[in-house]
Structure 1
Amino acid sequence: MTSMHHSPAEHDPGLSRRRLGFGSITFMIIAASAPLTVVAGGVTTSYAVTGSLGVPLGFLLIAVILTAFAVGYTAMSRFVTNAGAFYAYVAQGLNRALGVGGSLLALVSYNAMQIGIYGLFGFQISAMLEAKNGTSTPWWLWVFLCIVVVGVLGVNRVDLSAKVLGTLVALEFVVVIVFDIVALGVAPEGVSTAALNPAALFGPALGLVLVFGVAAFMGFESGAIYGEEAKDPQRTVARATYAAVAIIGLFYAFSAWAFSVGVGPSAIVDASRESGPDLMFVFMTDHVGVLLADIMSLLFITSLFAALQAFHNAVARYLYSLGREGVLPHHFGRTNRAGAPWAGSLAQSVLAVVVVAGFAIAGDALGGAKALGGAPEILFPVLTLFTWLTNTGAAGLVLLMGITAIAAFGYFRKDSRGLSVWTTSIAPLASAAALLAIFVLVLGNFPLMLGQTEPDATTIVLPALLIVALVGGIIWGAVLKRRDPAVYARIGHGTEPGAYGTALIDVVGDQK
């Protein structure tokens, strides 16, 4: 065994250790999925676009596919502990160059999700202030303030971030449960099970239901990113991932069904098309009163904030992992005294400022409304920044999960570690096939996801960003193999030798 070459990052204190328990990681995973945002926005969008009552069962089907994915993924988390989770899994399960490709795909996807959500966040605050007291404020003002808050939390101890997110997620669950109870109580057509009829799902709209439903779960895979900071990496990550996918799958399905009961199965599609994400708040104003609807509107904003923080943390840890291993400049592999990846956190905040500023300037220059064929100017950040980037990010994460599922199969094919065929082969390959099929469906329906009547430049450019990141990363991995074999050997193996049961790295052997 030869020792690893030292890099500046290795003299750093590293990520804070053993800070996060099962509950903290579960909450951070669920925060990224933003339950209130999904029920208010995702559920209504799914009903409106698919025209199908199969939305609740669609969530359950996606939860089953993602649970199958989690089998191989969480099995790997017991043997590979790395803040750049997908990156390390693909590097160790397939090959190092593909691991670098996966890492850049993850960076583009998580950044797109995070920065895209800022568009909806800024719109919601400015729209709420205008509706309540007539104050007109630019959407980007609130976004820039939020970037500062997210950045400050990002460079603090991770358990502070976890406590904030845990509190916000708990409040989200409470208000959605209140909404579900009210909806089931109103039930204009009775407590109908029409939306739970399998025939509603397994019809012509099945592909669309999966395409629009899968984005609701994005972030569920982020548990392994916190492996190095978990109290018990071998068990905590797996348990938190299974718990999160089960909780959000059942919660989304139940709430989507309650939504159909509250509005009426025969009316839910038309009502969703007419009111969009406002339908939930309009419904609560009509049936409970304006105070509770206002509280829910406020929590809708904090739900978006929780997702912003969770995706910010994910990007910072990927940058940290890549910097530590020399794939990106070592500067990114730096942490502060709080054990937070400050350089990665700062880089993500700067990128968010640049992208948001670009959209703000474009919106002003184009007059917002004229740019969007007569849509109200205030909707500009929702119809562009939010819609374009979050759909791109979700597509990238679905592709990345498909590749990671194949990597889990590849990892255990070399050594099954005494695990069952279900864990090492059947579940990973079945979920890979399903996820890659959903990715193809997403690409096929991309104009619809972007709300376009006719495809335009964005229809091609946005998905192309994902492919360029993946291919560019593979090429960069090949360059590293030739230029710096020591760095190449470390790809995906960056946890310090011996820590948490990780093996020492043989720099000469196994350099796939």
Structure 2
Amino acid sequence: MTSAPTTSPRTGELGHRRLGVPSVTLMIIAASAPLTVVAGGVTTTFAVTGVIGVPVGFIVLAAALAVFAVGYAAMSRYVTNAGAFYAYIAQGIGRPFGVGASLVALVAYNAMQVGIYGLFGFQLSMFLEAKFGLVTPWWLWILACIALVGVLGVNRVDLSAKVLGILVALEFLAVIVFDIVSFVVAPEGVSTAGIDPANFFVPGIGAVLSFGIAAFMGFESAAIYGEESKDPKRTVARATYAAVAIIGVFYAFSAWAFTVGVGPTQIVEASQTYGPDLMFVFMNEHAPVIISDLMQVLFLTSLFAALQSFHNAVARYLFSLGREGVLHRGLGSVRAVSRAPWVGSVTQSAIAVVVTIGFVIAGEVMGLKNDFAPVEFLYPVLTMFTWLTNTGAMGLVLLMCIIAIAVIGFFRRDRRGLGAWSTVVAPGISAVVLFAVFVLIVVNFNVLLGQAETTAATFVLPALLIVPGILGVVWGIAIRTRNPELYERIGHGIEEAEAAAVEVEPQRRGI
């Protein structure tokens, strides 16, 4: 009798044992988009806050997230689920809260991913016009990119990992070249002003942390690839620690290089004048033009890498929820060949298309066309990118606060031989610190959105996170009453899949 796959391509398992620690670490780093953060995030933070000690902020945040990772990594040894946050909260606090968290996560990851499309389309359109005189609408390149990301999304995850690995390596190389040039130029000498704590603990520190935390978004995604890792019990923890350490040190050093290259007395004014273009303007002045052009191309590939990483995360969340029946079971489908969550991937691509078209139509209605008026021309950056990515960062920080509490709940009855540090103390500390950062984001939300005063967006965007979360909790409670069997599966997807495999095995043998 011919053999058959252990699970049906309709539902079941993702591709197993394809990702090692390096691959997962690269997935995480790709989501944080190193070149994008250094070129865009660092300069924006200098410009908006006026604080020179931005590099210290990255070290502080890296330390806080490393403490969070202690409990997160400990729980990852016992919970392996593509739903990550959803499964952790369901098993640590309760299934209804897990359902609520799943909807917050879906909104947050989609917001991060679709928001980055806005910056990608704008930057590519600008680059083509500046270099080749080709005038094109920003949304055209977004739609083309959505198609390419979607193709990779429905293929084997290790293919995405290889592509992202190459792009991330090139990003690092580009930023390292910038760092070296900065220390060589050093108009005011190799000043330590940027790494002096006295220049960090000043008014504006809250805004620095609010901006800075967005640079780390994606570091928590290691658990999403647990089911596809070679050794989930070790891979998730090691990749998370590696990513936090690499990202934190790299961002801090590169932000310091910015202060040295431009000069600590000039960095704020220069950032306010040039914004994300400051890195490329600087390289134009102090290096061959070809270097600056290559860096601009790598800036675009950096955005592409982040788009692919967040796309993969959304597809796996949808897969996990579909597999367990919390959302439509069709979302739990995987391709027979690649074992990729193809329905989740296509769904995420469709969401990106719809939201992009919505922003295009809104821009047309408001008359915000590419007519080179500063505010109007920057429309996709000032709205689509700024609004959505900051909303996504807010949601992910909120989820990390809840995750820290979930870790304590998970180990409350049985520490499984682990000490108090990883099961109680570290999660408790990280919960307090992350909640403080969340409050800072809320307080500084207008600043993050680039608004001088409160507008409808100040309330509507957070509501996009909070309302689905509340509805999800209510929905979870309703499931408990109406479908106890489904309720028991919430947050336990991999266990259900394994049970299903055991059931179909006798059928395959004709028993």
Does the alignment reach a TM-score above 0.5? yes
Deviation (angstroms), 1:413: 1.1
Displacement, 1:415?
0.9
Structure 1 unaligned regions, length at least 5: 1-7, 505-512
C-alpha distance in structure 2 between counterparts of 1:242 and 1:149, whole Å:
30
Give the structure 2 partner of residue 363 of structure 1: 363
User: Given residue 468 of structure 1, which amino acid in structure 2 is its aligned partner?
Assistant: V
Per the TM alignment, residue 87 of structure 1 is displaced from its structure 2 partner at its CA by: 0.4
Partner of 1:240: 239
Percentage of matched positions with identical amino acids: 65
User: Partner of 1:166 in structure 2?
Assistant: 165
Following the alignment from structure 1 to structure 2, what is the Cα–Cα distance between the partners of residues 215 and 289? 32
CA drift of 1:455 comes to 1.1
Between 57-66 and 376-385, report the one with greater CA deviation: 376-385
AA matched with 2:132:
N
**Structure 2 residue 259 is matched with structure 1 residue 252:** no
Q: Which letter maps to 1:189?
A: E
Letter in 2 for 1:51: G
CA deviation after TM superposition for structure 1 residue 469, in Å: 1.7
Could you tell me which residue of structure 2 aligns to residue 425 of structure 1? 424
CA distance in structure 2 between the partners assigned to 1:59 and 1:94 by the alignment: 30
Deviation at 1:364, TM superposition (A): 2.2
Whether 2:485 is the aligned partner of 1:477: answer: no
Equivalent position of 2:70 in the other structure: 71
Give 1:160's aligned amino acid. L
Q: Assess, with a 3 A threshold, how the Cα gap between structure 1 residues 203 and 355 changes in structure 2: closer, same or farther.
A: same
Secondary structure at the residue paired with 1:202? coil
Q: Does 1:305 align with 2:304?
A: yes
Q: Give the partner amino acid of 1:442.
A: I
Give the match for residue 291 of structure 2.
292
1:367 counterpart letter in structure 2: G
Given the superposition, is the C-alpha separation of residues 289 and 367 from structure 1 closer, same or farther in structure 2, using an over 3 Å criterion?
A: farther
- One-letter code of the match for 2:32? S
Map 1:10-409 → 2, pairs under 5 A: 12-337=11-336, 338-368=338-368, 375-409=374-408
* Equivalent residue runs for 1:501-512 within 5 Å: none
Contact in 1 for aligned 2:82/2:224 (Cα 8 Å) = yes
CA deviation after TM superposition for structure 1 residue 60, in Å? 0.4
| Shift in Å, 1:432 | 0.7
8 Å Cα contact 1:369-1:375 kept in structure 2: no
Shift of residue 356, structure 1, vs aligned partner: 0.1
Do the aligned partners of residues 418 and 489 (structure 1) sit closer, same or farther apart at CA in structure 2, a change above 3 Å counting? same
Pairwise CA RMSD of aligned residues? Answer: 1.9
Q: Indicate the residue corresponding to 2:489 in structure 1.
A: 490
| Cα gap change, 1:281 to 1:237, in 2 (>3 Å) | same
Aligned-residue offset at 1:165: 0.4
1:280 counterpart letter in structure 2: M
Residue 496 of structure 1, CA deviation? 3.1
Q: CA deviation at 1:9?
A: 7.5
| Distance in 1 separating the partners of 2:40 and 2:485 | 47
Q: Could you tell me how far 1:434 is from its partner in structure 2?
A: 0.7
Distance 1:444 1:301, change over 3 A: same
AA in 2 matched with 1:358: G
Partner of 1:415: 414
Amino acid in the other structure paired with 1:394: A
- Per the TM alignment, residue 492 of structure 1 is displaced from its structure 2 partner at its CA by 0.5
CA distance in 1, matches of 2:450, 2:8: 44
Distance 1:353-1:439 versus aligned 2 partners, 3 A rule: same
The amino acid across from 1:173 in the alignment is: F
Aligned AA for 2:173? V
SS at match of 1:24: helix
Q: Using the TM superposition, give the Cα deviation of residue 367 of structure 1 relative to its aligned residue in structure 2, in angstroms.
A: 2.0
The Cα shift of 1:376 comes to 4.1
Go from structure 1 to structure 2 and tell me whether the alpha carbon gap of 1:485 and 1:265 turns closer, same or farther (over 3 Å shift).
same
- TM-score norm. by structure 1 comes to 0.94
The aligned length equals 495
Report if aligned partners of 1:24, 1:166 keep a CA contact under 8 Å in 2: yes
Question: Offset at 1:380?
Answer: 0.8
Conserved 8 A contact 1:89-1:408:
yes
Partners of 1:421 and 1:205 lie apart in 2 by 35
For the 8 Å contact 1:9–1:324, the answer to whether it is kept is: no
The separation in 1 between residues aligned to 2:111 and 2:118, in whole angstroms, is 11
Distance 1:69 1:23 in 2: 21
